[in-house]
Structure 1
């Protein structure tokens, strides 16, 4: 793709040529973050962190997948910094340091129990006991069987509560108020809630449930990021959290809840098999609707030639967001010790290094 702007902190810029190639020459040894941008496109990942070692004129491939921007995209429905890195951190499972406590179950998002959870990228079978008596319908810290949305935990660092924000601009089509904590049946279990309608390449709806308070009214137009209310635990809820649901309209432009307006997963579907929600039940096709990538990706890059020693003060500060690095001692390295490119999509880099590579080195 030609004409993509590549930018680094500090102001260094480059444009891709007709072949999609760009050059950032004369870089000093260290770790650099490069971000891609072009009007009408988004890139997954939006940025790379690259480790550059001598020779400084190392060929570096910036691997990104540009796709046309959807007419409709979502941001997180609670305050955060807005950066791709913070987004990727927050949407991780709670056990990995994120704020996602329950996922959309592609098998199936109708609150039925079949002892398996299909998130957007993995199948998680529930252990014994048998169907129907699994206490919390979770397995391997992944929740929960039959769930039709995404649950987000509150920000425990803020004692005043967590505002709930519109994930995209839209119109309020449903408001429920008057539910109190402990009334599990209020509003069919949703508790105090807001539903927004969004018009893009299709009509979508977003649901914000279990709220403590609601600050909007039916018919109101809201901007992306507008406050809808405060996170709570009303309805069928056992703790303060937000149930966030996304639905595709059935074509009539009227909010009719999940009976006709089918739920979908804003993380899309990334498994290598057919989505069971679509293939088995005729559910809505899930596409990635978030404005940022769900996982940050770091790429470690190095030369095949014998590496020189890199002063720790030049490298360690910029490398703080990487899982680690290894450098072979100069007297043990040779041109045959080919450095590899490792792409990290899960937040942890695991690499195999030559024997004795860590002797006398930082790691």
Structure 2
């Protein structure tokens, strides 16, 4: 990766520059709407749904919500991660020279989407890639990474085990490390999701800017990038950026960290949203913890994630992985957030962008999920 002296500032203009750099290599994924989900999102929750919550016995919120779904599940390799991977690799080539990067290659550790993303970017640019993957990774993701020409090396499942194998590969090959999320080049690449959402929303003629945008938060690269793009610029209407996490077994480390005023450094969870099992990175935390950039982070339960995923599969006919729908689940089921929309949006309501971060699942995995 580029070293700190060469790091680009996290600014909207550098997100725009990143988009120009990676445009030849990515899909401009669609921005979809759905009247049925708008109706469901704008319907008050039932008393049963609020039972056992701080809002039990209270009148449920009556927000007016119109959804705009950015379908990164239809991105190359089925997830937004290719944006950051291509941008990081292109920036590395700019700094080190193509011959040097090709001679040494690149390495990363990832159980899924970043593994495939870097494998694709490296294959496209004719760079050797070494991908450290836990041996328990989903077989389809391992097969996809290998099919893209990467040298897959297996490791244990814990972060120290992954890191140890990655360092061994670096010592043997001299490969440059491309981290999954915690680097400005990755963040700026992921931020291009926000740029495209704004452009596509304007093309629909609905208004100048979205009222709010939700992204999932795992390592935080996507949320930090989108928040960077929507940072306030003079004369630009404000789009609020929010994050969403699973609450299961402490997977909501970002939400909890914001509440206590300090980044939580480790997470151990088996949430069904497997792409969100990592703690927020240091660079990403510097963005997400800034209330001028991220307006809040909310958490949802496993059942709420499954309910949102079921709605997307059945009502939109769109295949997504559980991690992709946590933002939608917040809008549908988190009464705290729904009351914000009701209060701030009034009768007009809010136009809310939801990033479907990925669709890397299988028929078998979906079947098991809903047969539990």
**Interval containing the TM-score (normalised by the shorter chain):** under 0.3
* Bigger RCO of structures 1 and 2 (CA < 8 A, at least 6 apart): 2
TM-score under structure 1 normalisation? 0.26
Higher strand share: 1
TM-score under structure 2 normalisation? 0.25
